[in-house]
Structure 1
């Protein structure tokens, strides 16, 4: 009799299958995404948890080095990646609505008088970047790729979950002269490391770039996930919940006209199916 009751109890409990779990990965890029176990894991993570959770999905979010996260999503080993642009992954499925924006700046140690004045101003400095990142979807990204091929030493690439922190330490130790990063991310990391008075902003790289939660092109479910994100963002913007969430991270709404998506797939496009 006890066994019967145990079986009935098990059957009556809600069970979330693997099919109802969305796997979400990225390297740390707070306040967009941070420690999975923190009370505030990042506003993009909270967006995903709120929107997909309302639709009955669990979100399995963990940190992973950026290039690995992109490749795992591309292969269909994970569902989606956080903070990606269509330029970085044109084959991914993207929501119509962005989940944020990024306007990278250049940073130097405090005593430097160098300022960013276009690509020419980079030719006498060592620039620290993070592997796999797209910074401006334009001439800076082209310069980084060109210098990598030339192995000139002008571009130094850091990889891993703590790539930004390592670049900051390289900057302060004189192993690089300049690093590129989004102001909100840089401000958060400098405060965390207690370095607000040791690093200066040396100028904006260019116009803001919209960033997304991008999903694997290998499964049809990505269309549903990205549609849910777009609808959820619109609803949260309309009812004020988006503004309230962003205020918790000292951020404001990034809303602007959507950029041209190039050859990337959006939620209305059929996904490519892995053979």
Structure 2
């Protein structure tokens, strides 16, 4: 039979080992610190939607951020701000990320491993219109083209023409610019409107105008759409990694397609 001192030593060792095991268990079972990320949002549905204008919908990229980052205990707060202002605030570290942007516009931001959408600027006109975009000469032939001031429509031919400030281009700004452009198109004041294809189609459906318009030409450039994070936030690389890993899981188990179906769109990878 072991002596009293020996039993005490064994008990002490056992207690110490138990304490260490509890410590290690807590270390690996306790989730990482949960953050609330403040994300810039602008009206570019269905990528990025202002909830108050879209029956509570925040856009598929907003839903994707909530789902992927929420899987690791993080929460999202959407901050309504103009697109250009949002980029500035994210760059300065005053916001944690932006819901949707082009990598070319913010090469210093932190990105997931792959794009979360694809954008292609497309012209739309009335169903009975004979005008069709097929290059610079066709732009000159349009009576009046509607654009949103300050937007980058990506295609070099289109942007070169717009940057010359021609008289047959109407650039508008202010609240709900796309809605106003569509109303002007329907009223016969514009020959065509240019916008990302799924953005304009989504807005036309909302406004019950889809049967009155048609695609009247597509530009040659397709560009990737990304969610991005602030270069000033030391946790941005981790957020981007989470979005990448969790999005792949969602694609594999079908949750991603179910999310996209709520906006009437398909997985950009399948396009």
Q: TM-score range by the shorter chain?
A: 0.7 to 0.9
1 or 2, which has the higher helix percentage? 2
- 1:46-195 to 2 correspondences below 5 Å: 46-125=63-142, 126-136=144-154, 138-144=156-162, 146-147=163-164, 151-160=165-174, 162-195=176-209
Is 1:95–1:227's contact at 8 Å kept on the other side of the alignment? yes
The 1-side partners of 2:230 and 2:159 are apart by: 23
From 254, 258, 267, give the equivalent of 1:240: 254
The 1-side partners of 2:252 and 2:217 are apart by: 34
- Per the alignment, residue 10 of structure 1 pairs with none
Is 1:88–1:134's contact at 8 Å kept on the other side of the alignment? no
1:40 and 2:57 aligned: yes
Q: Secondary structure at the match of 1:205?
A: strand
Is 1:36–1:61's contact at 8 Å kept on the other side of the alignment? no
Cα shift readout 1:1-41 (whole Å, capped 9, x = no counterpart): xxxxxxxxxxxxxxxx9x81111123212222223254532
1:216 and 2:230 aligned: yes
Tell me how far 1:55 sits from its aligned partner: 1.6
Tell me how far 1:207 sits from its aligned partner: 4.1
In structure 2, do the counterparts of structure 1 residues 89 and 155 end up closer, same or farther at CA, with 3 Å as the change threshold? farther
- Per the alignment, residue 27 of structure 1 pairs with 42
Unaligned runs of 5+ in 2: 1-32
In structure 2, do the counterparts of structure 1 residues 51 and 64 end up closer, same or farther at CA, with 3 Å as the change threshold? same
Backbone CA RMSD of aligned residues: 2.5
Cα shift readout 1:182-213 (whole Å, capped 9, x = no counterpart): 22222221121121233221021124321011
Tell me how far 1:161 sits from its aligned partner: 5.0
Cα shift readout 1:89-121 (whole Å, capped 9, x = no counterpart): 223222222111122210113332100102331
Is 2:38–2:77's contact at 8 Å kept on the other side of the alignment? yes
In structure 2, do the counterparts of structure 1 residues 86 and 119 end up closer, same or farther at CA, with 3 Å as the change threshold? farther
User: After TM superposition, which residue ranges in structure 1, 4 or more long, deviate above 6 angstroms?
Assistant: none
Tell me how far 1:240 sits from its aligned partner: 2.0
Q: Secondary structure at the match of 2:251?
A: helix
Q: Secondary structure at the match of 1:44?
A: helix
Q: Secondary structure at the match of 1:242?
A: helix
- Per the alignment, residue 10 of structure 2 pairs with none
Question: TM-score, normalised on structure 1?
Answer: 0.76
In structure 2, do the counterparts of structure 1 residues 197 and 243 end up closer, same or farther at CA, with 3 Å as the change threshold? closer
Is 1:66–1:160's contact at 8 Å kept on the other side of the alignment? no
